[in-house]
Amino acid sequence: MKIKTKFCGEIECGEEDIISFEQGIPGFTHLCKFIIIPIQELIFSYMQSVEDEGICFIIIPPTFVDPKYDINISDETVKNLRAEKPEDLIVYAIVTLPDDISEMTANLRAPILINTKNNKAVQEVLEDERYNIRHKVLKEAEA
């Protein structure tokens, strides 16, 4: 199938490429189907809505921001994703890109979790206070 995207024009994808958020994601509960589009040669990817070409999130593995990123996933999330083992899950953080790129942040408090075996996904809001919604991506030396 062909889908229109915010940043990549029209692209071809298969049903097997679509990840499904059964209850959408916070703030976008009406959107349930997305695809992940890697940005070549970068650690970032796009998470593009299949249902609304104007909705596209930039995502990153949270371990890029915090190499010690380690979370506990709720039993409810494990059940909803039908995850059998941790290796089946891939984790992303949504990135915010302001005009000043040195101020880029990642939401480590509410990661995107995707079961790679069945493409079910959820954004879980963690109770873990070690992580916040605006964690700086670039350290001062890198900026």
Give the pLDDT confidence of 19-39 residue by residue, as tens digits.
Answer: 999 999 999 999 999 999 999
- CATH for 43: 2.30.290.10
Q: Is residue 143 part of a domain?
A: no
Per the structure, the complete domain to which residue 45 belongs is given by: 2-136
**pLDDT over 90 for what percent of the chain?**
87
Q: Is residue 24 part of a domain?
A: yes
Q: Is residue 141 part of a domain?
A: no
Q: Distance between CA atoms of 143 and 135, rounded to whole angstroms?
A: 14
Read off the pLDDT of residues 32-64 as tens digits, 9 standing for 90 and up. Answer: 999 999 998 889 999 999 999 999 999 999 999
pLDDT category at 143 given cuts 50, 70, 90 is very low
Q: SS3 letters for the chain?
A: CEEECCCCCEEECCHHHEEEECCCECCECCCCEEEEEECCCCCCEEEEECCCCCCEEEEECHHHHCCCCCCCCCHHHHHHHCCCCHHHEEEEEEEECCCCHHHCEECCCCCEEEECCCCEEEECCCCCCCCCCCEECCCCCCC
Q: Is residue 142 part of a domain?
A: no
Mean pLDDT of 85-113: 95
Q: How many domains does the chain have?
A: 1
pLDDT for position 142: 54
- What amino acid occupies position 9? G
